[in-house]
A and B are shown apart, each in its own frame.
Chain A
Amino acid sequence: MTALLEHPGYEEQRLRSSAEKLPSRELQAGMLLSLMGQPQQYSYPSVFIYGHRASGKSHVMQVLLKELELPHATVSCVECVSVVLLFEQVLLSFFGCDVASLLPRSPSLSDFVRIYRQQCSQTPAKQTRYIVMEKAELLRDTDANLLPALLRLQELVEDNVTVILLSEIVWDKFRPNTGCFEPLLLHFPDYSKAELQQILSQDRHPSYSAEFYSSYINILLGVFYSVCRDLRELRHLAALNFSKFCEPLAEGKVKETDTHKLWRNIEPHLKKAMQTVYLREVSSLQWEQMQQMEEKESGALRGLSAHTHVELPYYSKFLLIAAYLASYNPARTDKRFFLKHHGKIRKTNFLKKNEKTSNHLLGPKPFPLDRLLAIFYSVVDSRVAPTASIFSQISSLVTLQLLTQVSHDDQLDAPKYKCAVSMDFICAISRTVSFDIVKYLYDFL
């Protein structure tokens, strides 16, 4: 059923078993194999593989390297909080843990190269060694010399080594200013619907027939394919909802072949799943519990985003309202809103042409602390002493991420803030203190 991988220098048995594990990725695997050449041959110094999430990049690499028993080191760049970890893992998997401890306390790239050369002169590579770097886009944030050096590591260490970079981003976004060795580019396209169907049908439930599971996957893809093509996520959803799909079967109401009835049973359920589990509004554990419960009870369970209400102290509410007003009103209109005798300002004069565009569309603007306090004192209905706790409330609003500090932390003199809450949120807040915020907003004048 699958085209066999063929390449001289590898055992046929192994090639076949790896081909079986790589459905719909034969083309890419074959390409990789031909790039790699025979085990003892030198390979291209660096290969760059890109493709969307869950398009099989790491999977193909893992299967090939494991099945063909090639020496390799797999490193995830997220994990490498410092380069030490990267170097350590590479040395560890090629030369054993004794060598890894040879690294000095904070090693530089040249330390790594030195130790590598030292070691490979003792144990030269009989087969090509592979270094697989997952999430390679993070390499851009490390030292500027790391990425160019990795790309031509073969030259630097004078060993038969190939670096394979895996990323979700195209190579163009990687290229450093100073230029570097260009790796070979290899694209992994997304799986098509048929391919997804084929892959997902493979992990069938042991107690049901393959056709039955396949029809289930068909229904599942019909609902979810338009929103999600992530294989991992789809597999997760398939596992979660399968028990519900089998329910009428277990009750003996329908036969395995009666797909239409099964579809009618599962379809609303899957739609609901799309709104809740897929968005992680409810956890998968809760979803499973909901399935066991009756329909009416499950209505009580609310998703994460349903809880938006925040209880705040009285003055914090007013500080937040003042911050919102300062963020969304132009500073020159403060006089009109907050001065008792502001005189008659004609509305036509008052509205400037370029300000006709809604401030709410432009997003919050930064404002200085003085302005926040001035507005605060005019909107709060009682006399408030400027106590330390008023000021500390501002900083606690910042830690709660309801305000954001725009200026740097170190700037003690006239710090600037932005209001980070939505219109709905502030309306709800001002309703609790019976403050009509819409009356004070320039956009709604």
Chain B
Amino acid sequence: MSTSSVSKGCFVFKPSAKKKKTHKKDSLEDYFSHGCEGADNSEVRFKLCQDLWDQIKTDTEVLQDELNRKILDSLLDFTRKCSSTRQHSDWASQMRASEIPTAALVLGVNVPDHDMTFQSLSELLQQSVSPHVASVQAKECGALKHLMKRVLERLMGTVVTVDDEEEEEAEQIQLHKSVHCSLNTLCDWYNTKTKKSNTVSPGKKRSSPVRDDPQQPPVVVIFKDFEAFNPKVLQDFILICSRYIERLPLMFIFGIATSPSTIQHMLPHSVSSLLCIELFQSLSCTQHLATVIDKLILTPHFPFKLNGKVMQVLISIFLYHDFSVRNFIKGVQLALLEHFHSQPLSALCCKKKEALLNVMQLSNSHLERIRHLPSFKRYVEKQEPQEQGNLLTDDAHLKDVCQNLIKDLRKYHKNYYPVLRCLHTLTSSLPRYPLGKQVRELHLICLEKNVWENEDYQTAMKLLKMLAKDELIALLQRCMETLEPVKSKKMKSALVQLKDLLAKLKQLDTVAAETLPCPEDCITSPVKNLQKKTDLFQLQKTLLEMNESRRAKKLSPFEVLRNEALEFMDGLVKSHLSPPETQTLYEVCYYTSSATVRRHLNATPRTSIQAALSSPYYYLQNESLKTEDGTVSNAAPDICIAYKLHLECGRLINLYDWLEAYATVVSAAEGNHPDSEHFGKVEEVKHARFIRSVSELEFLGFIKSTKQKTDHVARLTWGGC
């Protein structure tokens, strides 16, 4: 490659887009199979992994669209209304100052998620309201000039940029326009555009019947991150736009991350009086996450599962750090990739039919792996001795058993989620939420260990035993609704039982009238006794008796039924909500390495720098660097030695002492004998190496120069050896 430049310099040649694409395509699978465990079935796993991810991706997109539908619909209504009221020519609208219609869209602080919302918003707008939509970001509009340029480019360019070939053409037009980019140009462009679409085949463009006003579609400008804009730029832009509002039906959408009052902070009254601001509040991100988890995680449809710890990591990143649903899904994607990459048996982690087929195609080595799975070992130990032998030696038999086990695992999942939801409906309305407010909390508890051994579960059950009748009926009704669509046999029988119970509870009213006479006398008699005796000991005794008798009191029919219902639920929980670790072959579906996920998603730069400096073997993997804990081999890189030595110092480090110590260590590494003449002598090379490592440490922020003492540097970190 050559340039026309005469001067010397450094030139960047970016590879063309086409080349990049082709290169990427064939390497994706290579990347996957490179260094992956048990490479022989990596193709299958890669395919499975990709299919699953595609499914997750489309599902979440659909979900997001559904969640945003309401707010987007109202926004679209607003834009339509605005563009239609503009044409009114009655007295009031003539007298009114012509304001620019503005939608303030409050989206919450999870800025990474907003992209998708704006994407679908601008697509919807383009489909149903107006083809003229431009969205701008703060970082590309530092000055008013740039903002103008971007808006004009996007508006005028959208019509042209369709294919790669036309892109260049569009660029040329844009360049030409940027010579005098003013709204005047935009007005002219808009007029020719609307005129053209009016004359040339109106039926062709009007593809959607919703477009109510094809002559004067509004020009929509979306400010994606309102807070980040320079207030001055924004104010000027609005002022300019308001001058053209008569000729150009403009409209703004502000994407606001914090609260709508920022509009008033950023725009003075003289500017905000030019806008007609309407507020739109989107769903909170916690609700969004709840729906995503509900649809993605708490369902038997996805064979891939996360274990408790991984879930915990992902959820805590969400709650503690970013509130970003997109990042949560990325985390799931990472876990998915890692699982299929590192677990050879993940080939069985797919739909039932495929899984059964894949079982038959397992190679010897994979069967061996199955035999080494801890959950399988546990299973084998429970079998008869002869069966044990069969399982460990006969491959065909093992395959048969595996098929059954996979089926069992599927059944487990099919029953687990409905029961989990039932339990959640029962406990989510209890005071102080002993088992969590959200399903995901309950799910985490269940993944951890047997939920019925949990103390909170006991308290929840106690609280449930105090429920009033109508509450209980309502809750059971809702449980019934969750069980209804489930197709497994066990759930169907459970549903029948539950219906039975409900019917009995409802009949209670009619039955109760007949069994009203209550055995009151058993309570009254001790009270009578009480009046006679005045001895303290006796009093205590009678009181205890009274208590006993009350407890032993005959239960009312409702209480009997209530206990029955709760015992039934308890039974369901005990038989279906055992943690996945108890299931045989759970390793196939569950991803367990929470440390990997944490390391990738929640990077700790300082910890890794310190790890690199204190144990260079960790990154360099050089045998000679291997040492015991806490020490550094003297063959380590210079900076590691300097770092190790500086840890032994106090807040101020004497440079000369440090140099001496360094020279001693390095001499030992060179193999000089401690008694020889040159040992520990500072020569030029060592001196230079030392200075370099010190300045590297300074660059990394461990030390800095100080004026307190000459020849000293100050330590910036605490702690040491």
Task: Report the minimum CB–CB distance from B239 to chain A (whole Å).
Answer: 5
A85 and B180: CB pair below 8 A?
yes
- Taking CB atoms, residues of chain A closer than 8 Å to B286 are 311
- Among A368-418, those with CB < 8 Å from B are 385-390, 393, 396, 399-402
**B607 at interface by CB-CB < 8 Å:** yes
B259 and A79: CB pair below 8 A?
no
- Among B293-333, those with CB < 8 Å from A are 317-323
**B635 at interface by CB-CB < 8 Å:** no
A280 and B272: CB pair below 8 A?
yes
Task: Report the minimum CB–CB distance from B130 to chain A (whole Å).
Answer: 18
- Among A167-226, those with CB < 8 Å from B are 203, 205-206
B96 and A284: CB pair below 8 A?
yes
**In the complex, which residue of chain A has the Cβ closest to the Cβ of B284?**
A311
Query: Given A388-B605, A393-B321, do A304 and B261 touch, yes or no (CB 8 Å)?
Result: yes
**A438 at interface by CB-CB < 8 Å:** no
A76, A88, A388, A400: residue with the most chain B Cβ atoms closer than 10 Å: A400
**B204 at interface by CB-CB < 8 Å:** no
**In the complex, which residue of chain B has the Cβ closest to the Cβ of A380?**
B320
**B395 at interface by CB-CB < 8 Å:** no
Contact of A304 among B277, B320, B607 (CB under 8 A): B277
Task: Report the minimum CB–CB distance from B673 to chain A (whole Å).
Answer: 44
What mask results when residues 57 to 101 of chain A are scored 1 for a CB within 8 Å of chain B, else 0? 000000000000000000010110110110010000000000000
B145 and A387: CB pair below 8 A?
no
B97 and A285: CB pair below 8 A?
no
**A10 at interface by CB-CB < 8 Å:** no
What mask results when residues 185 to 223 of chain B are scored 1 for a CB within 8 Å of chain A, else 0? 000000000000000000000000000000000000000
A242, A243, A396: residue with the most chain B Cβ atoms closer than 10 Å: A396
- Among B139-180, those with CB < 8 Å from A are 143-145, 148, 179-180
Query: Given A78-B240, A309-B259, A312-B109, do A304 and B602 touch, yes or no (CB 8 Å)?
Result: no
A401 and B604: CB pair below 8 A?
no
Binds B, one of A123-131, A156-164, A228-236, A344-352: A228-236
A313 and B269: CB pair below 8 A?
no
A387 and B602: CB pair below 8 A?
yes
Query: Given A240-B96, A399-B227, do A279 and B109 touch, yes or no (CB 8 Å)?
Result: no
**A315 at interface by CB-CB < 8 Å:** yes
Query: Given A233-B97, A386-B604, A388-B602, do A284 and B276 touch, yes or no (CB 8 Å)?
Result: yes
**In the complex, which residue of chain B has the Cβ closest to the Cβ of A105?**
B179
- Taking CB atoms, residues of chain A closer than 8 Å to B320 are 313-315
Query: Given A85-B182, A280-B275, do A203 and B95 touch, yes or no (CB 8 Å)?
Result: yes
A283 and B278: CB pair below 8 A?
yes
- Taking CB atoms, residues of chain A closer than 8 Å to B243 are 76, 78-79
Contact of B259 among A205, A239, A308, A388 (CB under 8 A): A308
A84 to B262, CA, bound (A): 34
A402 to B257, CA, bound (A): 11
Task: Report the minimum CB–CB distance from B331 to chain A (whole Å).
Answer: 12
B279, B284, B285, B605: residue with the most chain A Cβ atoms closer than 10 Å: B279
**A305 at interface by CB-CB < 8 Å:** yes
**B260 at interface by CB-CB < 8 Å:** yes
Task: Report the minimum CB–CB distance from B236 to chain A (whole Å).
Answer: 5
A238 and B95: CB pair below 8 A?
yes
- Taking CB atoms, residues of chain B closer than 8 Å to A238 are 95
Task: Report the minimum CB–CB distance from A274 to chain B (whole Å).
Answer: 13
Contact of A311 among B269, B273, B323 (CB under 8 A): B323
- Among A299-353, those with CB < 8 Å from B are 304-305, 307-316
A232 to B243, CA, bound (A): 14
A203 to B92, CA, bound (A): 10
A243 to B92, CA, bound (A): 9
- Taking CB atoms, residues of chain B closer than 8 Å to A307 are 106, 259-261, 279, 281
**In the complex, which residue of chain A has the Cβ closest to the Cβ of B607?**
A385
B321 and A84: CB pair below 8 A?
no
Task: Report the minimum CB–CB distance from B94 to chain A (whole Å).
Answer: 8
Task: Report the minimum CB–CB distance from B463 to chain A (whole Å).
Answer: 24
**B228 at interface by CB-CB < 8 Å:** yes
**A255 at interface by CB-CB < 8 Å:** no
- Among B246-271, those with CB < 8 Å from A are 257-265, 269-270
B604 and A385: CB pair below 8 A?
yes
Please give the residue numbers on chain A whose beta carbons come within 8 Å of chain B beta carbons, in ascending order.
Answer: 53, 76, 78-79, 81-82, 84-85, 88, 105, 203, 205-206, 232-233, 235-236, 238-240, 242-243, 279-280, 283-286, 304-305, 307-316, 385-390, 393, 396, 399-402
Known interface pairs A308-B261, A310-B109, A401-B265; 20 further A-B residue pairs with C-beta atoms within 8 A, sorted by A's residue number = A78-B239, A78-B240, A81-B144, A84-B180, A233-B97, A239-B93, A240-B92, A280-B275, A283-B102, A285-B101, A304-B261, A307-B106, A311-B323, A313-B323, A385-B607, A388-B605, A389-B322, A389-B603, A400-B227, A401-B262
9 A-B pairs with CB atoms under 8 Å apart are: A79-B243, A81-B144, A82-B145, A84-B180, A105-B179, A203-B95, A236-B96, A280-B273, A400-B257
Q: Which 8 A-B pairs have the closest CB atoms?
A: A239-B95, A236-B97, A283-B276, A389-B321, A388-B603, A304-B260, A81-B145, A314-B320
